[in-house]
Homo-oligomer: A and B are copies of this chain.
Amino acid sequence: MDHGQTAATQGSRIDAYVDRYAARATGMVASEIRALFAVASRPEVVSLAGGMPYVTALPLDVVGELVADLVARRGPVALQYGSGQGDPHLREQICEVMRLEGIDAGSDDVVVTVGSQQALDLITRIFIDPGDVVLAEGPSYVGALGTFAAYQASVVHIAMDDQGLVPADLAETIARLERAGRRLKFLYTIPSFQNPAGVTLNLARRREVLEICQRAGLLVVEDNPYGLLGFDGEPMRALRADDPEGVVYLGSFSKTLAPGFRVGWALAPHAVRDKLVLAMESAVLSHSSFSQLAVGQYLATQPWREQIKTFRELYRERRDAMLTSLEALMPPGCTWTRPAGGFFVWMTLPEGLDSKAILPRAVAERVAFVPGTGFYADAQGAGNMRLSYCYPQPDRIREGVRRLSGVIEQEIRLRDTFGTGSAPDHIGVDTPGPDLA
């Protein structure tokens, strides 16, 4: 027993297959910081780290009745395999949801996925050969960067400011990369209430971004989980609404209903949709019929627009609690974004401070955040942190910001004395798992 003996002799934690993995697997190494986030999930710690929606705001009794009714009325369908593309009726309902953002689409171009994360995975799978370029805002969603890395894409960041990604930088970057002979595959963007920056691409820039990408023949992947969670006025018009053939739109019920069903979707140009369905079948055969029909039943029988309003009010109060206490408590030199929706504030630290080095001290002081480095594919982000306000109650948010401001003040004193703050002691993708608040 060759590998058996190796394991017996050297301990079962030795990897007998270390020489057998695919090239794409070599980068798959767990972040050392994970353990720290596990500590941060203890109740005494105020976590401003995670992105968990506040599902307790749902009417649980109603959801319970609804799933029981689903099994009683449609059990043999809900418990059976479904089609790779997803339940036809749910796909109609998804088109109705997207209409709120100006999208006029047919259900035949929708593919239901295991969260919009899987839509990202499938899109990357069908477009990316190793070394191909994906353009993405800097900073960008850590889960997308992880997926791009898993397919050995090369991510090039586009600059952002308070109005979202900067069109001039997008145009220049495309031109530069094309001159260099690189294969550009798509622009990945979260135009509304961006994760992690909390900023929103304004309307004029939306037009510019579409024009630039159309000129370059470049597909846009519009990831829009927070689009209906804006605090002011009507939902913004989606990029997809103005370019059906140039945009793949990714949506999700994780933030407008609940992540526990894992129901997301992609709306894609027809030929791309064909390939997405085949990739879906190859990846998981089909999504859970039960999950899909439960979401469909919820949309058909419950006042889902009112529920989204409830979520909006709840998150607005928490955003206000965070912005007010940041204003009141953070030392000079700290700056931050002012999100008009979604879950996140992006903070920039005073010169010379390193957010990853600060994290262990913050956790010791019972507050957690996500260091900025995880949101870049390159070495940026050490001077930033993502603060989320979606999960803790307003009082806890204020207390968390108070604790964090104390830690940052201490870091500033350290820097002023020694010329630097705490030194970082590890590398890796530094984010909590999806189940940490």
Which residues does A use to contact B, with CB under 8 Å?
Answer: 1-4, 6-7, 12-18, 20-25, 28-30, 52-53, 55-56, 58, 60-61, 63-65, 67-72, 75-84, 114-115, 117-118, 121, 125-129, 132, 143, 146-147, 149-151, 185, 214-215, 217, 219, 243-246, 254, 258-262, 269-272, 274-275, 277-279, 281-291, 294, 433-435
Contacts and interface: CB of A to CB of B under 8 A. Distances in A.
11 contacts: A2-B215, A16-B245, A17-B272, A24-B126, A30-B274, A52-B80, A55-B76, A58-B75, A63-B71, A82-B435, A290-B290
A278 B428 CA distance: 13
A260 B80 contact: yes
Contacts of A217: 2-3, 16
B281 A433 contact: yes
A121 B22 contact: no
B185 A20 contact: yes
A149 to B, nearest CB: 8
Contact of A80 (B1, B29, B185, B259): B259
Contact of A25 (B20, B83, B126): B126
Contacts of A151: 22
B20 A279 contact: no
A290 B78 CA distance: 13
Contact of A4 (B79, B243, B433): B243
Contact of A146 (B7, B146, B282, B286): B282
User: Copy number of this protein in the oligomer?
Assistant: 2
Nearest to A291: B288
A288 B286 contact: no
Contacts of A246: 1, 3-4
Given A20-B185, A55-B76, A271 B214 contact: no
A245 B9 CA distance: 12
B16 A282 contact: no
Nearest to A18: B271
Q: Closest 10 CB pairs between A and B?
A: A15-B271, A64-B71, A68-B68, A79-B260, A79-B258, A60-B75, A81-B434, A260-B289, A28-B278, A114-B284
Nearest to A118: B284
B290 A1 contact: no
B289 A3 contact: no
Contact of A278 (B30, B277, B284, B435): B30
Contacts of A285: 115, 117, 143, 262, 434
A244 to B, nearest CB: 8
Given A4-B214, A117-B284, A22 B126 contact: yes
Contact of A435 (B114, B214, B275, B286): B286
A65 to B, nearest CB: 7
A362 B146 CA distance: 48
B52 A61 contact: no
A240 to B, nearest CB: 13
Nearest to A65: B68
Contacts of A243: 1, 4
A171 to B, nearest CB: 15
